[in-house]
Structure 1
Amino acid sequence: MKKIAILVLGICSQIVFSQANRFVYQVTMKPDSTDRNVIKTETANLDISGANSIFYAENRMKRDSILSRARQTGSFNFDRSQMQGLRSNLDFIIEKDYKTGKKIYKAGILRDQYAYEEDRPMDWKILPETATIGEYKTQKAETKFAGRTWYAWFTTEVPFQDGPYKFSGLPGLIVKVEDAKGDYSFDLKEAKKIDAIASFDQRGSIITVKRAAFEKQQEQFRKDPMAAMASMSSGGGRGGFRIQMDPNQRKRMEDRQKEEFKKNNNPIELK
């Protein structure tokens, strides 16, 4: 009986560790530095399997699922208002490789998909302060990253040295992390087992660049979005992709894009 019990325990352990883990975070943001009363919240997932993890917005996964089904069926008659409601302030994917220590950031600019490897180290200072957050006993840590000072609370009760966004490298899972100004906060709300980590429908190739090159391209698009769109309209986009639009449509798109950028002037990374 003892041997059977040990065997059953071994099988159960294999099942547990063959599954992936999903940590669900509530992300709170103040995207407009001129109106700090505007607070947006989203749900984002950190999926961990083996020696890899992926962090992404739940809305991004839902949008991708709808578009993937539409491409498979050839029917794009989905609810446009529903898609609009699934727009995300976290329109990126971050993949971490525990073996190499690489963090890959993926995001799109118009129709082009870019990827860069994060090249800035995250040096943590572990502080003596402790706190119980939810069911976890946590300890506080501090780091300076991308123009902000960040405070994290991590737990050694969960054996993953990872966390939301690009945060990792502490001796346990990051349960909460927020910047000193109170502009951004990531709070763990749920942990559960899943069959496999999320995968996204990648169309076409990804343009791999250095981080500085991506940020330059992104800044150029923010300064003059219509110039980038005009380039694609004339066939200048990747693969000769063309966008056809009449002048009125272009004007509406330009106004909408400028208004959106105006209200999102407080990015998570300041430099």
Structure 2
Amino acid sequence: MKKIGIIALALFIQNVFAQTNRFVYQVTMKPDAENKNDIKTEHAYLDISAEKSLFYSENRAKRDSTLQKAFQGGGGRGSINREQLEGFRTNINYSVEKDKSSQKVYYKDRIGRDIYVYEEDRPLNWKMSSETSKIGEYKVQKATTDFGGRKWTAWFTTDLPYQDGPYKFSGLPGLIVKVEDDKGEYSFDLMKNYKIAEIPTLNQFGNTLKVKRTDYLKQQQKYKTDPISFMQNGGGGFPAPPRAGGGGGNQNPADMRKRMEERVKEEAKKNSNPIELQ
């Protein structure tokens, strides 16, 4: 009986440590360089398991779940509630995965109909400070770094023994509870945490292309100037070209091109102050 009890205890401990921890951050952004009063706020998840962590938008997760249910129900695109999906719009279109064994950081983002993935090639060089404070229930310590053209201040706690944090931030002796840039344009604040069964698999419509970071930036710039070249074949999670009312014939391709280019330029204007400036 004693042996069975020890095995049961070992399995229980194994199960506890095998669980994934979800940390919910409030992300505050000023993405429009010409309108700093336009402040966007939303929640994002940092899911940490024994092997890796994944940072992504809460709205992305809700959108994925809604789409999955619609397709599993056999309704396809026609059964998707467009208004509901509109409510899941996010300014965090990327995801960041950190591999614990290799210490590599992977950034994923959609350009047009495909997903581009690159390995972060710039190390985070933290300067530790002896300054401490308290955020919520956590005793925190200060650290600073320059990254992506911004100066960042982070507050981490050893009460949560994860050398991780939101976005690409990691490598401190504890979990990052808060990190913000010196201009007050981007901040990540830990709100709560709880356990989940496992890190979910995000829906990846379209092809996944592994590129260098510099190539990703070039493609991103090209998309802003010529979005049509990225959308020639449709797909990638984008709806089929809309049809004209009445007769149901295809819309004029020139009109469609003009509208798409206008929409991309408008989106680029609204996101003219990205989290990484260089």
1:228 aligns with 2:213: no
Corresponding residue of 1:30: 30
Q: Distance in 2 between matches of 1:261 and 1:11?
A: 51
Does the CA-based 8 Å contact 2:60-2:88 persist in structure 1? yes
Distance 1:111 1:204 in 2: 6
- More off after superposition, 32-41 vs 178-187: 32-41
Identical-residue share of aligned pairs (%): 56
Within a 5 Å distance, the mapping from 1:174-253 to structure 2 comes to 174-222=176-224, 224=225, 227-230=226-229, 232-233=231-232, 235=233, 246=252, 247-253=254-260
What is the rounded CA distance, in whole Å, between the counterparts of 1:11 and 1:48 in structure 2? 20
Cα distance, 1:162–1:29 mapped onto 2, change above 3 Å: same
- 2:56 alignment partner AA: Y
Q: Secondary structure at the match of 2:90?
A: coil
Distance (whole Å) between structure 2 residues aligned to residue 79 and residue 67 of structure 1: 9
For 1:62, the equivalent position in structure 2 comes to 62
Instruction: Compute the displacement of 1:221 (Å).
Output: 1.3
Instruction: State the one-letter code of the partner of 1:219.
Output: Q
Residue number among 77, 92, 97 corresponding to 1:90 in the alignment:
92
Give unmatched runs, 5+ long, in structure 1: none
What is the CA–CA distance in structure 1 between the aligned matches of 2:131 and 2:194, rounded to whole Å?
28
Equivalent in the alignment of 2:155: 153
Structure 1 residue 3: deviation in Å? 8.8
Match of 2:246 in 1: none
Q: What SS does structure 2 have at the residue aligned with 1:121?
A: coil
Aligned length: 264
Shift in Å, 1:64? 1.6
**What's the TM-score once normalised by structure 1's chain length?**
0.89
Q: Which amino acid aligns with 2:38?
A: V
| Cα-Cα RMSD | 2.4
AA aligned opposite 1:141: A
Partner of 1:78: 80
Structure 2 distance, partners of 1:199, 1:30, is 29
Could you tell me how far apart the structure 1 residues matched to 2:268 and 2:234 are? 23
Cα distance between partner residues in 2 of 1:15 and 1:237: 40
CA distance in 2, matches of 1:24, 1:214: 28
> Is the CA contact (8 Å cut-off) linking 2:113 and 2:206 kept in structure 1?
no
1:79 deviates by: 1.8
CA distance in 1, matches of 2:109, 2:41: 20
The alignment partner of 2:76 has SS state of coil
Deviation at 1:173, TM superposition (A): 0.3
Alignment match of 1:256 (pick from 251, 257, 263):
263
1:236–1:58 Cα change, 3 Å: closer
Structure 2 contact 56–94 (Cα < 8 Å) conserved: yes
Cα 1:136–1:213 shift into 2, 3 Å: same
